């Protein structure tokens, strides 16, 4: 049997740290990989594991400005305290540490390699868990993100004449990727996220629909706090899947942030791990060459559970509801709590669900009236 799925990983992911008290914990990658292994998901005949490479610097220039990259490289060269707030570097949110530039290049390199595995090697899908840095802009770090791997990789696809749909299910709006392609009709960006009215990055409203040639190619589905799995599933069925089908991309790129889970400390959505398995199934069922990247998630066990279930779904394997015994020992050793790989079913409180449903209906109505007709989809009432 030929390999059909690629997992991009490196033990080097754990070589750096944002700092002890920063909410982004780098060890979530090691935990995810360990859990995948204990679940028997790393030795299946339908998959191949690929060492994550550093992205070539010249590829970064297809999106990032040279002056920004120069500053990032210089700040990463030593342990001195550096800051340049014009570039978003050196504050509490985006700390600078020795080796940062190479670490960011490693994260970006995984996404570029995932694209290569799908486009050049003919894999059905590839997963780079270390990707998903969707807040980075061409010359500014933002939201823990320094290099925008999705923008770099998608620009590479565009240079090869490919049309791309980018779907972002992270709890935070994919603002950096949206901005990168806001004027393009070769990339459709779709982001479903917690409403930016009072939530970082304070963008991603339903009327952000693109400009110029890109009008109608930027799609946002902002959700009210406490939106749950049922709201997410409706958004997929009513908006995301019809638009993917109508656009007919050559490649599907998805950002699979784990922070919509209800126990994430930084967000207010109420999804369970079931939403990640559902998303994995529907993206796979599009039969479009698929590149999946990681993203947010600030409870490290949530991340490990969600992405292990995503990988199992992607490669068509089943796993038990509970942690394997060896991983349970790791959980105890880390001082964490929990024994379930899958969350039990959960529904938002009736009042919260009603408000979330009304907001979703309003957003869908707007998109049906303003976006759907551009792609030959039925116009809403």
* 3-state SS string for 238-255: HHHHHHHHHHCCCEEEEE
Residues 6+ apart with CB under 8 A from 70: none
Rounded to the nearest angstrom, the gap between the alpha carbon of residue 117 and the centroid of all alpha carbons in its chain is 18
Which contacts of 180-184 are long-range, i.e. CB under 8 A and separated by 24 or more positions?
Answer: 180/63, 180/138, 180/148, 180/151, 180/154, 180/155, 181/151, 181/154, 181/214, 181/217, 181/218, 182/210, 182/211, 182/214, 182/218, 183/210, 183/211, 183/212, 183/213, 183/214, 184/158, 184/213, 184/214, 184/217
In a 3-state reduction of DSSP, which class is residue 89?
strand
Q: How far apart are the first and last CA of the chain?
A: 50
Asked if residues 88 and 96 have their Cβ atoms less than 8 Å apart, the reply is: no
Structure tokens at 260: 């919509």
Cis before 58 (ω within 30): no
Instruction: Give phi and psi for 312, each to the nearest 5.
Output: -60, -45
Does the annotation mark 135 as catalytic?
A: yes
Which of 38, 82, 134, 135 is an active site residue? 135
Q: Report how far residue 283's alpha carbon sits from residue 190's, in angstroms, rounded to the nearest whole number.
A: 13
In terms of DSSP H, where are the helices of 252-349?
273-285, 300-315, 325-333
Q: Which residues belong to the active site?
A: 135
């Amino acid at each position: 049997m030929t390999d059909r799925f690629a997992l991009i990983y490196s033990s080097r992911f754990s070589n750096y740290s944002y700092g002890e008290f920063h909410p982004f914990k780098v060890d979530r990658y090691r935990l995810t990989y360990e859990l995948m292994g204990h679940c028997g998901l790393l030795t299946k005949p339908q998959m191949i594991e690929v060492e994550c490479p550093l992205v070539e610097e010249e590829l970064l220039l297809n999106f990032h400005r040279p002056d920004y990259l120069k500053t990032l490289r210089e700040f990463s060269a030593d342990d001195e305290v550096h800051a340049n707030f014009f570039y978003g570097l050196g504050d509490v949110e985006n700390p600078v540490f020795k080796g940062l530039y190479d670490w960011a290049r490693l994260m970006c390199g995984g996404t570029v390699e995932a694209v290569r595995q799908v486009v050049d090697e003919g894999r059905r899908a590839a997963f780079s868990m270390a990707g998903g840095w969707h807040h980075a802009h061409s010359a500014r770090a933002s939201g823990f993100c320094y290099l925008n791997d999705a923008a770099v990789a998608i620009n590479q696809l565009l240079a090869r004449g490919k049309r791309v749909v980018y779907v972002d299910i992270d709890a935070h709006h994919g603002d950096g990727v949206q901005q990168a392609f806001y004027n393009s009709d070769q990339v459709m960006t779709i982001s479903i996220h917690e409403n930016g009215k009072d939530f970082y990055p304070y963008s991603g409203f339903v009327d952000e629909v693109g400009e110029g040639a890109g009008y109608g190619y930027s799609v946002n589905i902002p959700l009210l706090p406490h939106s749950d799995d049922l709201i997410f599933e409706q958004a997929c069925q009513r908006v995301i899947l019809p638009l993917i089908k109508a656009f007919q991309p050559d490649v599907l790129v998805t950002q699979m942030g784990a922070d919509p889970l209800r126990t994430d400390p930084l967000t207010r959505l109420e999804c369970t791990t079931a939403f990640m398995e559902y998303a994995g199934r529907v993206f796979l069922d599009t039969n479009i060459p698929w590149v999946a990247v990681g993203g947010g998630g600030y409870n490290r066990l949530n991340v490990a559970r969600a992405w292990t279930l995503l990988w199992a779904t992607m490669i068509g394997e089943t796993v038990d509801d509970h942690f394997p015994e060896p991983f349970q020992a790791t959980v105890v050793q880390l001082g964490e709590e929990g024994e379930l790989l899958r969350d039990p079913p959960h529904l938002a409180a009736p009042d919260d669900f009603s408000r979330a449903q009304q907001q979703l209906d309003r957003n869908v109505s707007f998109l049906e009236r303003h976006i759907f007709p551009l792609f030959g989809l039925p116009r809403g009432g």
